[in-house]
Amino acid sequence: MNLFLFLIQVFIISLSGVMSPGPVTTTTIALGARNRWAGTLMATGHGIVEFPLMVLIMLGFDKILKFPQTQIIIGLVGGALLIFMAIQMLIGLKNQAELQDRPANDKPILAGIVLSAGNPYFLIWWATIGLTLATRARELGVWAFGLFAVTHWLCDCGWLQLLSWASFKGSVLLGKRGQRIILSICAAALLVFGLKFGYDSAQGLIGILQKTN
């Protein structure tokens, strides 16, 4: 396959994954309400997990990610983290002054790392669709693999930064009340994602236990 056509394919497929609603997207909107550069910082944390993961998958790490036990552990831990973040966000909303003091305390890079590593669907995407793209990139050569990695990450960065910028502008236009509404919606979304991760993992665990009995 021509390298240029391959990169176009990477761009389209990457955007389809990046633009899907998820914890990283939701948290970017929440942090973006207070920090217009939250998207780029979240993408940086996301990349800290993603770039090494690309290499590990090419070395056979995808087989580990496909184990039901691995997915269950990641889902339970990730779900617990999301629920914790949602509760913390809701508690913070009780104090109006905290919304003004919070930007200095936000850690979007760390959030990007934690939410990426704790998202079972993100890891499954890389063990399936991502693996297919990475394999094709490797067949085209080392430079192609590097361009593939950068192109995919730029899709992440561009979309997340767009979200945080829109959230920041929206919170400025709507004022403190609008900011609280945005954060409340994001907190509720994180809670739903966390409960879904936990429920799916619990169902998987029950299935494994039933097979062993």
Tens of pLDDT, residue by residue over 30-61, are 898 888 899 999 999 999 999 998 888 878 77
Would residue 146 count as lying in a domain? yes
pLDDT for residue 181 is more than 90: no
Percent with pLDDT over 70 in the chain: 89
Would residue 1 count as lying in a domain? no
Cβ distance 160 to 40 under 8 Å?
Answer: yes
Measured between alpha carbons, how far is 38 from 159 in angstroms, rounded to an integer?
12
Would residue 2 count as lying in a domain? no
- pTM exceeds 0.75: yes
| pLDDT at residue 104, as a whole number | 38
Measured between alpha carbons, how far is 103 from 179 in angstroms, rounded to an integer?
13
Query: 100 is in which domain, residue-wise?
Result: 8-14+21-212
- What average pLDDT does the chain have? 83
Regarding predicted confidence, which is higher, 151 or 79? 151
Would residue 193 count as lying in a domain? yes
Would residue 153 count as lying in a domain? yes
| pLDDT at residue 103, as a whole number | 42
Average pLDDT over residues 85-113: 69
Residue type, 36: R
Q: If phi over 0 gives left and psi between -120 and 50 gives alpha, with beta otherwise, what is residue 106?
A: beta
The total number of structural domains in the chain stands at 1
Measured between alpha carbons, how far is 95 from 133 in angstroms, rounded to an integer?
46
Average pLDDT over residues 91-95: 70
Residue type, 87: I
